[in-house]
Amino acid sequence: MLEHSKTNSTAKNTTTGRGPAQQQRSEEMAAMGSASGMRPMALSNENVLYMHRVIGNQAVQRMLSPSHRADKSAIQRAPVAVAAPPLTTDASEAAPAVVSGDVELGSGGPALAGPAAAGPAAPAASAEAKARPESPKDLSNFSNYHVVYKWLKARAETEKKSGLFGYFDDLSAGEKMFAIKAMCNNERSPSIEKVRDTMLTGVFTKTLDWDRFSEISREAKAKNIKNYNADGTRDYASYTAIGTSAAAGGVSGSATISSGLGAGGALGVANSVAPAAGALSGVASISQIYNASQNYDSSLSAVEKAQLAGTEASGGAADLTRFSAGTVNSARTLGGMAASGAATIAAGTAGVIGGAAYLAGGVAGYIESGKNQRNLNNLENKFNSKSETDQHQRDLSLAAHLGGSTQAMNKSKSATTAAKGALMIAGGAVLLAAAASPAGPILLAAAAIIGGIGALVKFYKKSKRKEAFVDKALNLDKEMAKPEHAGLKKEQVRQQLLEAQGFNNVDQCYAQLVTDLASMLYEGGVLGQDEECQSVIEGLGLKVDKAKKKPGKDLIAKKLHT
């Protein structure tokens, strides 16, 4: 601070091109003139103007001093990017202070903090700072960490993970220490034994958990490794319910259809499997209703809100009623009793109501997803035209491509939802009109089969798309054409590229891509004023509300992927 004051004082004096002695004499003469209330006879007009300029400069400098700016925010006080003045060996030749905004730049500014502002020693200090090497990447001076480092390197060579270890090895010494400490469960003193306890996996053959190694290494490099698409408990419960109910419903439905077409032995199968199928389908309906309530967000488009509330929730409730009624009748059939009329009417009514919800939602979703897909495809083509020379445009292109792919899958899923709704309406109507007819149960069984297949097909497509999208992001086709990759299989080149980026597998890379793209879109299109980011967000079927900072990263990531 002391050096700053001295330099500022020198800068103020040199602003006028006069030395300290001349400055002092001028100030004394000005003081005499102001005390007498009149201009001294010995002063010329030029000297009077000079004194006024000196006094004015001093007043401005006092106003701009740190004590006057202490109440400014960090943003207001941020330095403006201005070229620093050349250093000189004579303090009297220092460049005059330059006022830019709220910040005083020049010989007393941040660029010359501390002893570097003292004058003659500045060039030598600057040269020494430039010559000083960056922090070393090796851990030779940290014995405990270095021992663990060598052990990890040996494991990488043995387990053919040298490429992934190379990413870790390129971290700075501090980042490596952070990672090693994490691999030791944040114990104070790292050791091989602690790494073994935390990082080794396997029952008979112990290998290093390279997935975890990758995550820790990327986190040490200040990467946001949060997986916004990671499946939670409710997701696994939903997948299980959909899968088991589709399987049981398919068996029961197929038997029912076969029985209706004349296969006498199929009736017993249909009746015995129907109760279990109904119960599992009821669980799937409850899961569907719950997920609809959890996925509702104010940033969704009007069509998506209607789909969640009117299609998923209402349709799920109607399904639950229908499955319950169907189970009652199946149990009565197995007990040798006639079907309950009340249960049949309930099943038929629920079939019509639920079918109408699914049909309307499926048609609306088909139209909405098709429109979003076209918009995102157009944006992708636009961004592609500049992606070779502009990384931001390439990232926008990837986001639009992924979002467009998701909208295409949603379009197909909506088509199956509409078909399911149409069959349910027909089946429910037949049950209400003629309970004894086998057509009603057949149509309802077909609807259940189509609905289950549509959900499972979308899940399968999402899982298979990961590899294709990662290949696109890695420019795998171009990499395969390089001479150094001649003779290598696609899988080998892909793995090399993944490990060079710090990933152990495709799933990790895909999750990181979605996280990075969602963060880019959120920061540019929601927090910032990037209209291109905002156009991609809107193409995903979301509404941007900058005042509420919505949609959030998690919802954007979900819409990119789901």
SS3 of 189-210: the string is CCCHHHHHHHHEECCCCCEECH
Distance CA 307, CA 295 (A): 11
Distance CA 361, CA 414 (A): 8
Q: Of the candidates 473, 488, 510, which is a domain's last residue? A: 473
- List the structure tokens of 351: 């079939």
**Domain co-membership, 104 together with 245:** no
Query: Is 229 or 43 the better-scoring residue by pLDDT?
Result: 229
Q: Is residue 35 part of a domain?
A: yes
Q: Which residues, in sequence order, are CB contacts of 457 under 8 Å at separation 6+?
A: 412, 413, 416
Cβ–Cβ < 8 Å for 308, 292: yes
Query: Is 158 or 35 the better-scoring residue by pLDDT?
Result: 158
pLDDT over 80 (residue 472): yes
Cβ–Cβ < 8 Å for 238, 293: no
Q: Is residue 135 part of a domain?
A: no
Q: Name the pLDDT band for 115 (thresholds 50, 70, 90).
A: very low
Q: Is residue 383 part of a domain?
A: yes
Cβ–Cβ < 8 Å for 316, 238: no
Distance CA 558, CA 562 (A): 5
User: What pLDDT does residue 119 have?
Assistant: 44
Q: Is residue 209 part of a domain?
A: no
Q: Is residue 82 part of a domain?
A: no
Tokens 């495709």 correspond to 506
Q: Is residue 89 part of a domain?
A: no
Q: Name the pLDDT band for 41 (thresholds 50, 70, 90).
A: very low
Phi/psi for 153 (5° steps) reads -65, -40
Q: Domain residues for 38?
A: 1-67+94-113
Q: Give me the chain's average pLDDT, please.
A: 73
Q: Of the candidates 473, 502, 526, which is a domain's last residue? A: 473
Q: Is residue 44 part of a domain?
A: yes
- List the structure tokens of 61: 């400098």
Helix, strand, coil percent values for the chain (each to nearest 5): 70, 0, 25
User: What pLDDT does residue 25 have?
Assistant: 46
pLDDT over 70 (residue 363): yes
- Beta bridge pairs of residue 173: none
Query: For the residues of 250-261, what is the DSSP string, one character each?
Result: HHHHHHHHHHHT
Q: Name the pLDDT band for 100 (thresholds 50, 70, 90).
A: very low
Q: Is residue 539 part of a domain?
A: no
pLDDT (tens digit per residue) in 326-342: 665 555 555 555 556 67
What three-state secondary structure class fits 505?
coil
- Beta bridge pairs of residue 105: 98
Phi/psi for 382 (5° steps) reads -65, -45
User: What pLDDT does residue 293 have?
Assistant: 74
Distance CA 314, CA 333 (A): 29
User: What pLDDT does residue 108 have?
Assistant: 35
66 prior amide bond cis, ω within 30? no
Cβ–Cβ < 8 Å for 490, 476: yes
Distance CA 416, CA 458 (A): 11
Distance CA 427, CA 447 (A): 9
User: What pLDDT does residue 272 have?
Assistant: 53
**Domain co-membership, 240 together with 379:** yes
Q: How far is CA 421 from CA 248, 281, 394, in A?
A: 20, 16, 40
Q: Name the pLDDT band for 209 (thresholds 50, 70, 90).
A: very high
pLDDT over 50 (residue 392): yes
Q: Of the candidates 473, 508, 533, which is a domain's last residue? A: 473
Alpha helix segments (H runs only) across 385-438: 391-433
pLDDT over 50 (residue 10): no
Question: Average pLDDT of 80-95?
Answer: 37
Phi/psi for 120 (5° steps) reads -60, -30
Half-sphere exposure of residue 234: CA atoms within 13 angstroms, side-chain side: 12
User: What pLDDT does residue 49 have?
Assistant: 58
User: What pLDDT does residue 375 have?
Assistant: 96
**Domain co-membership, 292 together with 420:** yes
User: What pLDDT does residue 99 have?
Assistant: 34
Instruction: Tally the domains of the chain.
Output: 2
pLDDT (tens digit per residue) in 418-451: 998 898 898 888 878 876 566 666 777 777 777 7
CB atoms within 10 A of CB 107: 26
Q: Residue type at 116?
A: A
Cβ–Cβ < 8 Å for 82, 98: yes
State the pTM of this model. Answer: 0.66
Question: Average pLDDT of 121-137?
Answer: 50
- List the structure tokens of 437: 């007819």
Helix (H) or strand (E) holding 98: strand 98-100
Q: How far is CA 373 from CA 296, 399, 410, in A?
A: 21, 12, 10
